[in-house]
Structure 1
Amino acid sequence: MIRDEAAEAIAEEHGKLGLPAAISLIVGNIVGTGVFLLPASLAAYGTISIVAMALVSIGAIALAIVFGRLGARLPTGGGPYAYAKDAFGEFSGFWNAWSFWLTAWIGNAAIAVVWVNYVNYFLNWTSPVAQIALALVALWIPALINLSGVKNIGAFALVTAVLKFIPLIFVAVVGLFFVQGGNFGPFVATGGSWIAALSTAGALALFIYSGVESVTIVAEKVRDPARNIGKSSVYGVLICAAMYMLSTVAIFGTVPHDALVNSTAPFADAINNMFGGSVGGGIMAACAIVSGIGAINGWTMLVAEMPMAAARDGLFPSVFARESRRGVPWVGIVAGTALTSLVAVYNYFGTEDGFNKILLIATFTTVIPYFFSACAQLFWLVTGARRISGARLGRDLAVTAVAILFAFWMTYGAGMEAIFIGFLMLLVGIPVYIWTKAKRGEYGPGGEVPASPHGRPGR
């Protein structure tokens, strides 16, 4: 054990993420700020929400296993981009890279907006200009950390993961001793069918697992990726699933149903109901602040790593492949953070429901790489897994099928408007792909421009 910890430390000293840092990256990216409001949202549908979260957790674990298998087979940077490109060709790879890139910088804006709300628990800065200033702080501090090098990114992810989990685990474990059956409320609280309630609650729960693919995207920065990608993916999701399930049950059982439905700080209300007083609000607001800044740190890394992997293959503008002396893709970090800043500004000066639209669009663009990755695993199992034993092949096929269904469910949960807007944003990427190919001198199936009669490239 001591020898393993020493090896991890040495790996991280040399700019590599060891297993603890890789797990922390996944946990930090999955557990952002949404979890701090989720129990109140789920309570509106009744205790059937607990069943919905259990089903979603199973889907997320299946997806983590699929990513682990893919990462071990193809331990290269880019994650879903690399898997789609390997299975279905470079255009599919590009579209996955483009979709994930949209997810990373749009999603960071949603995290920053919630982060500002929790900061204002202490500051109470209500003007749009002041809130924009806070959002920019939340975005550019992680950007500077990312620009300082991989070692600092991993260390920051590890510290924030530990700090955010202490109070969350406290509620999840200690809260179980204060559970009272009368607080849970009805099984279905909507008055409609249980199937509709289960589906809607599941759609809400789906949003909190975005980030399961985090380590696969930075595979080149992970020590022993063939081994650690799979381990960190599964361990990270299992940790999050356990915390989500236990904390939801604890809060449902310690906060009366009617109060929980209208709560703006369910974790704080749970602590206050357990021990009395009002100290819980400040503790959980501080926890959410740490959680949010940690999540933005991890996603800022991903917003640069994905386009860098595609740019190295000539499928993204070459400028995204530039690295600083510290070995980080600085162009992607700066460009992604600048775009996120614009989305954050839009939230405060745009439409009234701008935040919800941002969140749902980011959810849809997340689903595309998930679906293609699961299908890439299915493609490989069907066409190239001849050396796998029958029992192992059957298990992998079953897990892959669950992951594909999970991706379908996530798409449904995003809603029609988000799917429509998100698809339009995906279409914008096609001219970028054409322009990038043209810059490389690749035109159509022939791979080059046909020569004109004058010996020069034709038009």
Structure 2
Amino acid sequence: MIGSIIGTGVFALPSALAPYGPIALVAFGVVTLGALALAMTFGSLSGRVPGSGGPYVYAREAFGEFAGFLNAWSYWITAWAGNAAIAVAWVGYVEVFVNTGHRTGISLLIALTGLWIPAAVNLTGMRNTGAFQVVTTVLKFVPLVFMATVGLLFVKADNFGPFNASHQSAPGAISAAAAIALFSYLGLEAASVVAGRVREPGRNVPRATVYGTLACAVIYILGTLAVLGTVPHGQLGSSTAPFSDAANNIFGGGWAGDAVAVAAIVSGIGALNGWTMLCAEMPYAAARDGLFPGAFARLRGKNDVPAFGILASTVLASLITVFSYTRFQDVFTKIVLLSVLTAVIPYLFSAAAQLYWLLVRGRAGLKPGRLARDTVVAALAMAFSYWSIQGSGYQTVYYGLFVILLGLPVYIWLKRDRGEYGETVPAPATTTEARAPETPPADRAARRPWADRAHRLNPLRHHH
């Protein structure tokens, strides 16, 4: 959980939030409350619907196949587009040591290297992926904890600049800053996505989701506060490695910034390692149900690796990285906002699925106090998701909606490939017309063999 949530986003976030000023800390607080509501919702959902898939299976079980497909499609976009954003931020810290002139071609090459190293690790199997994740998580956590504790002792009020530097209204500035800050919490659903590969998922997945999000929240808020208070506001907005600049200002030497840069490099590789796994796991779960192309469901080698999902996602992340470096000036912020939007849509559906089960299907099984608490938490998570979407901005919503709707032809193709063409519903018979005999159940089943196969693969889909 922590390894997937904490990547290079938090190391680059202070620069992205600098145009808003210290009001961004208010946005961070609001986002943290929303993230905790989402974490509690995912923890509850993981016990209600076991198995891998996370937001995909929750939407499918509550609202049907098409909703499940759209969530899987949207989350998959989040995963590989988010990898591109992590890689772009990762480059800023690598360039503390090489390519200090920030030549675009070399920066792009570094970003692509950062994308393909984790892909290679994932292709060797889940055990190696997990070991790599543990090591990188420990190494990344140390400097963040240091900055969130010792760094606070060196904060100076003059460095913060205007409280609201964006020249927007306070609600508008908080909303816009929150859309960027939410990127730091993407991955809070990671444990639920891979629940099928976790020991004792009913116990471990909810704990990992809630406690992991809490730990990250404390580090994020205090660490960002330390950076905003130790790097002058005018310098922070143009910094490509704000945590390194903060460490240099604290200790008055380049060695501290270099040490933080090394930690950020390790952190980025670790997060890319975890997200590359998620890039393959979500479509793998959907493909097993026939709601994603079948190639994503094929496992390769003795370690049962979903190789096609790993490779396809890394190729797409590489393409959007190349496109961004050639088209966008503020590469990180643009990709971050797209990733947040495509992630929030599955979050919204997951919160809605929780409300559906609580208020429509599952009321009899819960005590009144538990029902009220879970309903309030799910409603907060849903409201927070709506708020995050509107805070992403018109341009981001435009591009995000476009790439999500590109999934419609894929869904049509999948239905055609499965032979599910639907059934013609006859018009109601008039008094002068004989009503056509009803199709026997056996014949309907014969025309829809995939329904029986899907039921055998996942009997929970038909359980009420």
- Give the aligned partner of residue 281 of structure 2: 305
Where 1:399 maps in the other structure, the secondary structure is helix
Residues 91, 111 of structure 2: 8 Å contact kept: yes
Residues 52, 193 of structure 2: 8 Å contact kept: yes
Distance across 1 between alignment mates of 2:84 and 2:309: 16
- Give the aligned partner of residue 452 of structure 2: none
Length, aligned pairs only: 426
* One-letter amino acid of the counterpart of residue 81, structure 2: I
Shift of 1:259: 4.2
Of the candidates 377, 386, 398, which is equivalent to residue 408 of structure 1? 386
Distance across 1 between alignment mates of 2:315 and 2:20: 38
- Give the aligned partner of residue 461 of structure 2: none
Where 2:90 maps in the other structure, the secondary structure is helix
Deviations 1:311-367 (A, max 9, x none): 111111111110122022111111111222222222233454555433322221111
- Give the aligned partner of residue 96 of structure 2: 121
Shift of 1:240: 0.7
- Give the aligned partner of residue 309 of structure 2: 332
Distance across 2 between alignment mates of 1:434 and 1:100: 19
* One-letter amino acid of the counterpart of residue 415, structure 2: K
Q: 1:450/1:270 Cα in 2 relative to 1: closer, same or farther (>3 Å)?
A: closer
Q: Mark the runs of 5 or more structure 1 residues left unpaired by the alignment.
A: 1-25, 452-459
* One-letter amino acid of the counterpart of residue 223, structure 1: R
Do residues 33 (structure 1) and 11 (structure 2) align?
Answer: no
Distance across 1 between alignment mates of 2:284 and 2:74: 14
Do residues 247 (structure 1) and 245 (structure 2) align?
Answer: no
Do residues 393 (structure 1) and 371 (structure 2) align?
Answer: yes
Distance across 1 between alignment mates of 2:397 and 2:445: 35
Distance across 2 between alignment mates of 1:254 and 1:133: 32
Alignment TM-score, normalising by the size of structure 1: 0.87
Residues 193, 278 of structure 2: 8 Å contact kept: yes
Alignment TM-score, normalising by the size of structure 2: 0.86
* One-letter amino acid of the counterpart of residue 253, structure 2: G
The structure number with the bigger radius of gyration is 2
Alignment of 1:29-68 (within 5 A): 29-68=4-43
Deviations 1:49-97 (A, max 9, x none): 2222111101001100000000011121111000000000011001100
Q: 1:346/1:43 Cα in 2 relative to 1: closer, same or farther (>3 Å)?
A: closer
- Give the aligned partner of residue 402 of structure 2: 424
Deviations 1:379-428 (A, max 9, x none): 00101232211111111111111111111122122211121122111122
Runs of 4+ displaced beyond 6 Å: 446-451
- Give the aligned partner of residue 5 of structure 1: none
Where 1:223 maps in the other structure, the secondary structure is coil
Distance across 2 between alignment mates of 1:379 and 1:164: 39
Q: 1:449/1:95 Cα in 2 relative to 1: closer, same or farther (>3 Å)?
A: farther
- Compute the RMSD of aligned alpha carbons: 2.2
Do residues 204 (structure 1) and 146 (structure 2) align?
Answer: no
Deviations 1:8-58 (A, max 9, x none): xxxxxxxxxxxxxxxxxx212221212122223334333222222111101
Distance across 1 between alignment mates of 2:116 and 2:363: 45
Q: 1:269/1:120 Cα in 2 relative to 1: closer, same or farther (>3 Å)?
A: closer
* One-letter amino acid of the counterpart of residue 282, structure 1: D
Where 2:97 maps in the other structure, the secondary structure is helix
Residues 84, 96 of structure 1: 8 Å contact kept: yes
Deviations 1:203-256 (A, max 9, x none): 221221111111111111111111111100111111110001111222233334
- Give the aligned partner of residue 379 of structure 1: 356
Distance across 2 between alignment mates of 1:273 and 1:347: 31
Of the candidates 72, 87, 99, which is equivalent to residue 47 of structure 2? 72
Where 1:78 maps in the other structure, the secondary structure is coil
Of the candidates 189, 192, 195, which is equivalent to residue 216 of structure 1? 192
Do residues 132 (structure 1) and 119 (structure 2) align?
Answer: no
Q: 1:143/1:415 Cα in 2 relative to 1: closer, same or farther (>3 Å)?
A: same
Residues 11, 243 of structure 2: 8 Å contact kept: yes
Distance across 1 between alignment mates of 2:417 and 2:177: 47
**% identical aligned pairs:** 54
Residues 183, 339 of structure 2: 8 Å contact kept: no
- Give the aligned partner of residue 202 of structure 2: 226
Shift of 1:149: 1.0
Residues 247, 260 of structure 2: 8 Å contact kept: no
Q: Mark the runs of 5 or more structure 2 residues left unpaired by the alignment.
A: 425-443, 449-464
Residues 248, 254 of structure 2: 8 Å contact kept: yes
Do residues 440 (structure 1) and 418 (structure 2) align?
Answer: yes
Distance across 1 between alignment mates of 2:335 and 2:226: 30
* One-letter amino acid of the counterpart of residue 388, structure 2: M
